[in-house]
Structure 1
Amino acid sequence: MKIATMATGGIGGFLAVRLTKAGHQVATIARGAHLEAIRNAGLTLKGPDRGDEAETVTPWIATDDPAQVGPVDAIIFGVKGDALESAAKACLPMIGPDTVVVPFLNGVEAADQLLAVLPEASVANGVAHISTTIVKPGVIGQVGTFNRFVFAERDSRASERIDALRTAFNTAGAAAPATNDINRDLWMKFIMFSAASGVTAAARCRIGDVLNHPPLSELFRAVIAETAALARARGISLPSTIEKDTWAIVQGLPRDMRASTAIDLEAGRPLEIEWVSGAVRRLALEAGVPAPINSTLYSVLLPHKSGQGG
C-alpha cells in the first residue's frame, strides 16, 4: 500500500517504521530538524521491546510538501488538535477517489472536524492506544510495549479499504483489531484520557503518584465517572462496568507514565486542553449535563494553553 503519515510524530513515526519494514511505501510528512534527520539518517524507533536495539528505516518519501507525494491509499492523520485544520488542508493533494484518512488524535471530535475540510467519503475514524513521542529529531521513542490501533468507517460498517489497512497494520506488528462500534471505542479511551490528561497535568504528577495518593485517586476516578456520564448522555453505548474497568486499566499502567498534556506543560508547549477537559466542559453544556471537575481542570490549565509559563 501507499500510505502517508500526516504528520510523523509519535504515532505517525511508530507506524511509519513498522509499515516501511513490512514493505509498504510510506511517505513521511514532517518539517524542520525532524525532517532533515529523517532525510539524512532515516527514521528510527526505540523502545523497551527492542532492548538496546533500534529499528531504522528509509521512508519511500520524506517531505514537508504533500503535493510531492500525490494520491495515496491511506493517510494516517496524527497531529495536535490545534493543527487539525491546516494539516487537513495540506492533505488535499494526497486524496484520491478511494483514499481513506484515519485520524488518531486526542479527543472525540477529530473526524467531525475533518469533514469541514476533506471529502466526506475519505474520512474514517480511529483511536490509538500507545505511548510514543519524538525523543530527538529522526528518533521516535516508545514507552511500554503495548500498541493498539482501532479504526473503522465513521458508521462502523465493513469496507475493503479498512480491511486492507487493518491487514497492513497487523502484518507489520501494529495491533489493529476489528470493531463494530468505533464511537464506543473512541469514548472508552477518552474517558480514561480525560482523567489522565487533566490530573497528571494539573497535579504535575505521574500515574504512580495518582495510585499512591488516595485523594488523587479519588479525583481521577471522579473524572472517569463524569466523562462516562457525558458519553451516555450523548447516546454512546458504553459497557455498564466502564468506570470500574477503566480504573483497573489505570492500575496496570507503567508508574512513570503521564499524559502528553503533562509533558507539554512541563516543556512549555501549547496544550490540547480544548480537545480534552475543555471538550468535556463544552459538550456537557450542549448535552445539559454537569461536568464541574473537568471544568475545574480546564480552568486550572487554561493560563498555560498557549505554552506560556511552562
Structure 2
Amino acid sequence: MKIATMATGGIGGYLAVKLTQAGHQVATIARGAHLDAIRDRGLTLETADGSETVTPWIATDDPGQVGPVDAIIFGVKGDGLEAAAKACLPMIGPDTIVLPFLNGVEASDRLIAILPQANVGNGVAQVSTTIAGPGLIRQTGGSGQFLFAERDSRPSARVDALRAAINESGAAAPVTTDIVRDLWLKFIMFSAFSGVTAAARCTAADIRTYPPLGQLFRDVMAETAAIGRARAVDLPNDIVDKIWERVKKFPDSMRASTALDLEKGLPLEIEWVSGAAVRLARESGLPAPCNAAIYALLQPHRNGRPA
C-alpha cells in the first residue's frame, strides 16, 4: 500500500516505522529538524523491545510531492488540524481514507468540514508515544493497538486492507463494530489522565498513592462518561471502575502527552480534551465542574510557556 503519515509525530512515526518495515511505501510528512533527521539518518522507533530504524519511501514537508495514496494516517495536534487537513488535499484520491488518530472525540467531524466526507474515517490509537528527538519516536506506554473504521463503522475494503497491513507489521488493528464508542472509551480515560497528570504535575503512581487525587481522577471520568451517555454513546455502566482497574496497572512514571508538553513549555491541546468535555457538557445540559477546573488551571499554559 501507499500510505502517508500527516504529520509524522508520535502516532504517525510509530506506524511509519512498522509499515515501512512490512514493505509498504510510506511517505512521512514532517518539518524542521525532525524532517532533516529522517532524511539524513532515517526514522527510529524505540520500544521496550528495542529500536528499529527505517528509511521511508518519501520524507518531505510538501504533500504535493507525494501524490494520491491509499491511506493517510492523520496524527497532528488538535490545534493544527485545519491547516494540516488543507495541506493533505493533494494526497487524496477517489478511494483514499483519512484516519484521524487525535486526542478527543471531535477530529472526524472537524475533518469533514474541510475534506470530502467520503474520504474521512475515524480512529483511536491505544499507544503513548513522543518525539524524543529529531528522527526519534519513543513508545512510553500503551499496547500499540489501533482501532479504526468508516465514520459509520460499516465494513469496507479500504479499511480491511489497512487493518491487514497494520496487523502484518507487528502492530495491532482489531476489528471494531462501533468506532464512536471506542473513541469515547479512550476519551473517558484520557480526559482524566491528561487533565490530572498535567494540572497536578504528577504521575500514574501519584494518582494511585494519594486518595484525593485518585478521587479527582474518578470524578473526571464519571463526568465525561455522563456526557457520552447524554450523546447516545453506548457505554458500559461500570466503565469508570473498569478503567480504574487499568490505571492501577499503568507504569509508575507514566504521564499523558499533555503533561509532557507542559513540562517542555509547549502549547497544550486542552481545547480538545478538558475544554471539549466542558463544551460538550454544556451542549448536553450537564455540569462538568471537575473538567472545568482542570481546563481553567491549564489556561496559562495553553499557548506554551516555561513550566
TM-score category, normalised to shorter length: over 0.9
Kindly provide the CA deviation profile for residues 2-48 of structure 1, in whole angstroms up to 9, marking residues without a partner as x: 00000001110010000000000000000000000000111011111
Contact 1:223–1:294 under 8 Å retained in 2: yes
In the alignment, residue 108 of structure 2 is paired with which amino acid?
A: A
SS in structure 2 opposite 1:147?
Answer: strand
Within the alignment, does 1:67 sit opposite 2:64 as a pair? Answer: yes
Within the alignment, does 1:147 sit opposite 2:136 as a pair? Answer: no
Matches of 1:254 and 1:75, distance apart in 2: 31
Residue 144 of structure 1 and its aligned partner are, at CA, apart by: 3.7
Q: TM-score, normalised by structure 2?
A: 0.99
Within the alignment, does 1:211 sit opposite 2:202 as a pair? Answer: no
Matches of 2:44 and 2:142, distance apart in 1: 16
Shift of the 277–179 alpha-carbon distance from structure 1 to 2, 3 Å rule, reads same
* 2:9 matched residue in structure 1: 9
- Structure 1 stretches of at least 4 aligned residues deviating more than 6 Å after TM superposition: none
Contact 1:48–1:145 under 8 Å retained in 2: no
Matches of 2:231 and 2:49, distance apart in 1: 39
Contact 2:126–2:142 under 8 Å retained in 1: no
Shift of the 289–144 alpha-carbon distance from structure 1 to 2, 3 Å rule, reads closer
Calculate the aligned-residue CA RMSD, in Å.
Answer: 0.8
* 1:171 matched residue in structure 2: 168
Contact 1:49–1:145 under 8 Å retained in 2: no
Residue 145 of structure 1 and its aligned partner are, at CA, apart by: 6.3
- List aligned pairs for 1:86-235, cutoff 5 A: 86-144=83-141, 146-235=143-232
- List aligned pairs for 1:16-31, cutoff 5 A: 16-31=16-31
Residue 308 of structure 1 and its aligned partner are, at CA, apart by: 2.4
Q: TM-score, normalised by structure 1?
A: 0.98
Contact 2:124–2:146 under 8 Å retained in 1: yes
Contact 2:4–2:73 under 8 Å retained in 1: yes
* Greater mean deviation of Cα atoms: 293-302 or 142-151: 142-151
Contact 1:48–1:144 under 8 Å retained in 2: no
Matches of 1:145 and 1:300, distance apart in 2: 27
Within the alignment, does 1:267 sit opposite 2:264 as a pair? Answer: yes
Kindly provide the CA deviation profile for residues 116-162 of structure 1, in whole angstroms up to 9, marking residues without a partner as x: 11000000000001011111101111124621100000000000000
In structure 2, which of residues 286, 298, 301 is the aligned counterpart of residue 301 of structure 1?
298
Kindly provide the CA deviation profile for residues 225-262 of structure 1, in whole angstroms up to 9, marking residues without a partner as x: 11001100010000122111111111111111111111
SS in structure 1 opposite 2:115?
Answer: coil
Q: Percent identity?
A: 69
In structure 2, which of residues 264, 277, 301 is the aligned counterpart of residue 280 of structure 1?
277
In the alignment, residue 213 of structure 1 is paired with which amino acid?
A: Y
**Normalized per residue, which structure has more strand?**
2
Matches of 1:4 and 1:279, distance apart in 2: 28
Matches of 1:154 and 1:295, distance apart in 2: 29
Contact 2:264–2:306 under 8 Å retained in 1: no
Number of paired residues? 307
Kindly provide the CA deviation profile for residues 45-80 of structure 1, in whole angstroms up to 9, marking residues without a partner as x: 111122xxx211000000000000000000000000
SS in structure 1 opposite 2:94?
Answer: coil
Q: Which runs of no fewer than 5 residues in structure 2 stay unpaired?
A: none
* Greater mean deviation of Cα atoms: 159-168 or 246-255: 246-255
Matches of 1:98 and 1:195, distance apart in 2: 37
